Structure 1
Amino acid sequence: MHKQLLGGRFHFESTSQALLDLVEAAYGDVPPHRLPFLTPELHVQLRLVPGGHLPNAMEPPPVQMQSGMDLLFGVINAANYVVISPRQRQALVVASEDMLAFPYHLRYELIEFAVFVLAARCLGLVPLHAACVGREGRGVLLLGDSGAGKTTLALHGLLEGMEFLSEDAVFVQTESMLATAVTNYVHVKNDALRFVDDAKAQRWISESPVIRRRSGVEKFEADVRSGHGRLAKAPLKLVGAVFVSSEMTDDPDALLRPVPKGDIAARLDADQAYAAGQAGWLPFQQKLVQMGMHELRRGGHPRASVEALSDLLDRRMRL
């Protein structure tokens, strides 16, 4: 199975149709993003082994991360793990038959982890815990703590006609400041449905499968490929970035406020602890400082925040 993802050409190989079906669930019909320069060939082998390793489990044990000898490991147990070799541009995902009962964990914590790490390391991308929406090929990066509202903002950007890139993981090529992602799902809490006014969109989300995060939080996993908005067909050129805040304001003119340039670097380091330790972080950080950043507070309805983002995009696109 071959997929164009995150600027790379991924080749998935397996004798297990069940594992290839999970690959298709994750990456089928995802916009085939390409980045400037070369498109590397990346290989992921998926191997299914006999079960009996997760007896009576409500969920699999958490993934333990290890590294050594230019290899990266994500280990659940002796029969469920991923080994990644960026130097060889290859990854091996091993899963037991009883792990198939946990398709979300298998897909998200092993298969997608392998894809993300290979893309970031082999293409020199900066991996961010962030969301991104845009318009006309230009994008705004949404940063902030978990629970600050990035997903809600990205969802309503999608519903209001903006191009949707991602609500969770964004990868940036520093030289071009192009942002790419795997544009497949948006994860929505049940209490966020009260802000979704369109009945068709409410049904789309509420009838989606429910996944359970490691934190215990349950969310609808709504497939954005099902035609409920505009997906970013190509990487978005970043023209703005905001820290999403949980602080409320009823004044639409006070939603966006600039972050002092002297504070941006420290706030980025604190917000993106994993990315800050990766190659390419410093030039990326410097470009965001030069670009300038804003803090976005919550309005009475997410639509107000989307309007503020749209205004920011308009201003930046005129520069």
Structure 2
Amino acid sequence: MTATANHVIHDIQADPFGERFSRHLAVHKQLLGGSFYFESASEALLDLVEAAYGGLPPHRLPITVPDFRIELQLVPHRDQPYIIEPPQVQMHSGAGVLCGVIDASNYVVISPAQHRALVVASEDMLDFPYHLRYELIEFAVFILATRGLGLVPLHGACVGRNGHGLLLLGASGAGKSTMALHSLLNGLDFLSEDAVFVHPETLLATGVANYVHVKPDALRFIEHEAARDWIGKAPVIRRRSGVEKFEADLRHSHGQIAASPLKLVGAVFVSSEQETDLDALLSFVPSDEIAARLHADQPYAAGQPGWLHFQQKMVQTGVHELRRGEHPQVSIEALMRLLDRL
């Protein structure tokens, strides 16, 4: 049952904060090594939770895990619905809470110490499920898991096999998503294309392998007809940058999602530079340059607890740079050879 305006009208004088609002529906998900409970009176909001996390393998970490609780509230339509897309999220913090605010009717409030979060969304925001899911609901999950489990949050991708993983780093547009997609199509386990969370003590990496985002022009490099059809029929989302991409559901894909966290055995900076010499696609990053390159590539993570330990371990495992071949398949073969050696 989707909550409507009638469900959120209450006696303002008797209950000014809406504390008596019914929250009779709940779902549980094992995500990023954590145990998450989502509570709401709105089936529509819980449907978005299911769209984000339904059917994913439950990842667990060798640590004590608290329960995380995220409450989702649906409020009435705003007077002026968005025409193109919602405004960008504005971040705020204070008094031990973190906030992501789109407007007065669409926001998330997170209390890491209490392992709780509140997501509030207006009914018209349901017309923008990508933004609502990614910028409010998934944002709450990522922050709670990072702070509550002591994970290092990285902007990157991760693929692997036999329990071992390679971290794919690099600037936006360098080709991390393309590398992750073609790794999937070549039989590697897919962990994440955009956000990777690493336990610094064990180097176990986890992520949410729900979707892969592919530019339309990347379809020409996909030779497998069924895979090309799977992506080409996927919904199209528009990034904040204005770039449009297919959002293909990995749970209905032609590959293998990582069933459990992957132990990182190395990292690769994906470069947009072209290289025609196959023997020169991969190169070592000198050990005395690794710390600086990681810091420059991950400015947010570099300020989080656990970063120094993670950084030291990555220096020990070794880091490479991968230049772009004439075809993604060439780069993937170099990546797979590296994974076999590590």
Q: Deviations over 1:59-102 (max 9, x none)?
A: 00110000001100000000100000000000000000011110
Aligned-partner Cα distance in 2 for 1:186–1:56: 26
Provide the residue aligned with 2:84 in structure 1.
58
TM-score (normalizing by structure 1):
0.98
1:48 aligns with 2:74: yes
**Across the two proteins, how many residue pairs are aligned to each other?**
316
The counterpart of 1:151, out of the listed 173, 177, 198, is 177
Provide the residue aligned with 1:258 in structure 2.
284
User: What is the SS of the residue equivalent to 2:113?
Assistant: coil
1:54–1:98: 8 Å Cα contact kept in structure 2?
no
1:296 aligns with 2:292: no
Aligned-partner Cα distance in 2 for 1:53–1:134: 48
Residue 39 of structure 1: CA displacement? Answer: 2.2
**Root-mean-square deviation (Å):** 0.8
TM-score (normalizing by structure 2):
0.91
Provide the residue aligned with 1:142 in structure 2.
168
Aligned-partner Cα distance in 2 for 1:56–1:285: 42
Counterpart of 2:282 in structure 1: which amino acid?
L
1:54–1:99: 8 Å Cα contact kept in structure 2?
no
Provide the residue aligned with 1:308 in structure 2.
334
Residue 305 of structure 1: CA displacement? Answer: 1.1
Q: Deviations over 1:201-249 (max 9, x none)?
A: 0100000000000110000000010041011000000001010001111
Aligned-partner Cα distance in 1 for 2:303–2:227: 39
1:53–1:96: 8 Å Cα contact kept in structure 2?
no
The counterpart of 2:255, out of the listed 229, 232, 238, is 229
The answer for unaligned runs of 5 or more in structure 1 is: none
User: What is the SS of the residue equivalent to 1:211?
Assistant: strand
1:30–1:183: 8 Å Cα contact kept in structure 2?
yes
Q: Deviations over 1:23-74 (max 9, x none)?
A: 0000000111000021221000000001125424210011000000110000
1:217 aligns with 2:243: yes
Provide the residue aligned with 2:62 in structure 1.
36
Provide the residue aligned with 1:110 in structure 2.
136
Aligned-partner Cα distance in 2 for 1:161–1:76: 40
Structure 1 residues 201 and 71 mapped into 2: Cα distance closer, same or farther (>3 Å)? Answer: same
Q: Give runs of aligned pairs for residues 71-90 of structure 1, distance below 5 A.
A: 71-90=97-116
**Higher relative contact order structure (alpha carbons within 8 Å, sequence separation ≥ 6):** 1
Counterpart of 2:192 in structure 1: which amino acid?
S
Provide the residue aligned with 2:20 in structure 1.
none
1:275 aligns with 2:301: yes
1:189–1:220: 8 Å Cα contact kept in structure 2?
yes
Q: Deviations over 1:103-144 (max 9, x none)?
A: 000000000000000000000000000000001110000000
1:53–1:98: 8 Å Cα contact kept in structure 2?
no
Aligned-partner Cα distance in 2 for 1:71–1:190: 39
Provide the residue aligned with 1:11 in structure 2.
37
Aligned-partner Cα distance in 1 for 2:134–2:227: 25
1:130–1:143: 8 Å Cα contact kept in structure 2?
yes
2:230–2:253: 8 Å Cα contact kept in structure 1?
no
2:169–2:297: 8 Å Cα contact kept in structure 1?
yes
Q: Deviations over 1:244-264 (max 9, x none)?
A: 001111111111000011111
Aligned-partner Cα distance in 1 for 2:167–2:214: 19
User: What is the SS of the residue equivalent to 1:128?
Assistant: strand
User: What is the SS of the residue equivalent to 1:87?
Assistant: helix
Regions of 4+ moved over 3 Å: none
Deviates further, 163-172 or 246-255: 246-255
Structure 1 residues 178 and 252 mapped into 2: Cα distance closer, same or farther (>3 Å)? Answer: same
2:177–2:212: 8 Å Cα contact kept in structure 1?
yes
Aligned-partner Cα distance in 1 for 2:185–2:80: 40
Counterpart of 1:233 in structure 2: which amino acid?
A
Aligned-partner Cα distance in 1 for 2:123–2:241: 25
Counterpart of 2:63 in structure 1: which amino acid?
F
Structure 1 residues 53 and 179 mapped into 2: Cα distance closer, same or farther (>3 Å)? Answer: farther
Percent of aligned positions that are identical: 70
